[in-house]
Amino acid sequence: MIEQLCAMDGRVVMITGASSGIGAAAARLFAEQGAEVVITARREDRLVALAEEIEAKGGRAVAVAGDVRRSEDVERIVDAAVRRYGRLDAAFNNAGRATLGVDLHEMADDDYDTVMDVNVRGVWNCMRHQIRAMLDTGGGAIVNTASVAGLIATGVGAPYVAAKHAVIGLTKAAAASYGERGIRVNALAVGSTLTEMMQSAIDQLPGLEEAFFARAVQKRFAAPVEVARAALWLCSDAASFVTGATVPVDGGTLAV
């Protein structure tokens, strides 16, 4: 298994969007591989329960609630990691917000603002504070959750498509800027994954499941842990020569 090649013993990893879905799966997986995980999201009760679950299984986790849209929150979370562990070695910037397929001309300003703020400003806030901490200790690795919608128009809301294209752009720019200073930055082009958010969308729109599978080679949803494994690999030494990449975890959606 890939986990055996991707040991994270003693490394400090910040994971956003960790209260459910891909982020929670990543927190469990990274901790199983020996990482000290600093988990964050807005839902503090879920974070605390997840941290307690990880520690009960012998892992190490600290929960710090916050909103990635707020620079001061992200700074506080990164500072908490550095104060507790002395450094920040890796980060998985996974917090995101999607929209259903509302036509562009009918979308409200608030919906646009929320999608862009969480997905783009959130990654921007996280990377600038994470990079500062990593530069202090000689480098690190960052993985940003993008989407197949960051490479093609998938039929989801236009702001989400635009936001995930921006995440990939930020990833490439950061990789180019900080590669010589020991920081690798990559993105995941995530396909349809069965998270709480996805289940809610399916419940609201009959037929959505079939639409998501229309382009994919593998006609199923990813489990959150399947995406988390790709993030683990990119954060580990097993991917030491990979930076500036957008790695598909999409069941073949981008292959056809």
List the chain domain ranges.
2-248
Q: Measured between alpha carbons, how far is 246 from 152 in angstroms, rounded to an integer?
A: 13
- 112 carries an active-site annotation: no
As a whole number of Å, the end-to-end CA separation of the chain is 27
8 Å CB contact between 21 and 11: no
List the chain pLDDT tens, one digit each, 256 residues. Answer: 555 678 899 999 999 999 999 999 999 999 999 999 999 999 999 999 999 999 999 999 999 999 999 999 999 999 999 999 999 999 999 999 877 667 889 888 998 999 999 999 999 999 999 999 999 999 999 999 999 989 998 777 889 999 999 999 999 999 999 999 999 999 999 988 767 777 676 667 666 666 777 777 888 888 999 999 999 999 999 999 999 999 999 999 888 8
Q: Measured between alpha carbons, how far is 152 from 176 in angstroms, rounded to an integer?
A: 23
The CATH number for 2-248, chosen from 2.40.160.40, 3.40.50.720, 3.20.20.80, 3.60.15.10, is 3.40.50.720
8 Å CB contact between 155 and 211: yes
**pTM of the shown model:** 0.94
